[in-house]
Amino acid sequence: MTVAIVLILALLAVAVVVVGAVLGANANAGAPASATPTPTETPRPAPAEVAPPATVDTFDRTAYSLDDPMSIWVVVNKLRPMNPQDFEPGDLVFVDVEQTNEAYMRQEASDAIIAMFDAAANEADLFLASNSAFRSYESQENIYDGDDTLTARPGFSEHQTGLTMDIGASSGECSIEACFGELPEGIWLRDNAYRFGFILRYPADKTAVTGYEYEPWHFRYVGVPLATEMRERGITTLEEFFGLPAAPSYE
């Protein structure tokens, strides 16, 4: 009996060990595996938006007078007559270019015109001619025909400044006509006159500002800095560039 009891107790002990092992394995199998924590990224602030640098207008609009008749920036229109009205520049010279009428301009403008005519011939094989340059008060009296959109009254003409020339093709084609703007000569002048200090004074879409119909032949000397600034800014009239009132008609 004693041996049998011992054997029974031993078997019970083994059974307890086996059951415990099985229960422990099952418990471990049901438990979730320990996960490695994922590091959390620290939020970074969005970069601040940098505003583009403001465009600074550094062009000096006071470099020359707009009123002095001897200034290369003098603005003459239907609201701004020459002062005095019979003004005549003291530095007029003969302009040595091909011309249909004897041409005189102020020295600075004359030098620029000659350079521009030479460039047209050398760069583009285009030959230009002067149709009209300086006109005195008396000459304007003879030219004025009463049509205020086509001709200026005496004392109100840019030609009296000695800074303006009506330019045409040496062939005479479309002379003093709107079709000149469509000729190679007119297109070249439109695109290159600024290089020599000239602007096309009466653009096609600015009659309400200048008071004159499209004149693709009428070029006004203002100097290279101003002509270039106006081109780069896309401003085509002196009135708009200098903030002056439009001059569609006389007072």
Domain ranges of the chain: 92-241
Q: Give the whole-angstrom CA distance, residue 11 versus residue 132.
A: 134
| DSSP symbols for the chain | -HHHHHHHHHHHHHHHHHHHHHHHHHHHHHSPPPPPPPPPPPPPPPPPPPPPPPPP----TTSS-SS-TTSTT---BTTB--SSTT---S-EEE--S-BSS--EEEHHHHHHHHHHHHHHHHHH---EEEEE----HHHHHHH--S-TTTSPPTTS-GGGGT-EEEEEETT-TTTTSGGGGGSHHHHHHHHHGGGGTEEEEE-TT-HHHHSS--EEEEEEE--HHHHHHHHHHT---HHHHTTPPP-SS--
The topology (CATH level 3) of 92-241 is: Muramoyl-pentapeptide Carboxypeptidase; domain 2 (3.30.1380)
215 tagged catalytic? yes
Active-site position among 215, 232, 239, 251 = 215
pTM: 0.79
Tens-digit pLDDT profile for the chain (251 aa)? 444 444 444 444 444 444 444 444 444 444 444 445 555 566 666 666 666 666 678 999 999 999 999 999 999 999 999 999 999 999 999 999 999 999 999 999 999 999 999 999 999 999 999 999 999 999 999 999 999 999 999 999 999 999 999 999 999 999 999 999 999 999 999 999 999 999 999 999 999 999 999 999 999 999 999 999 999 999 999 999 999 999 999 99
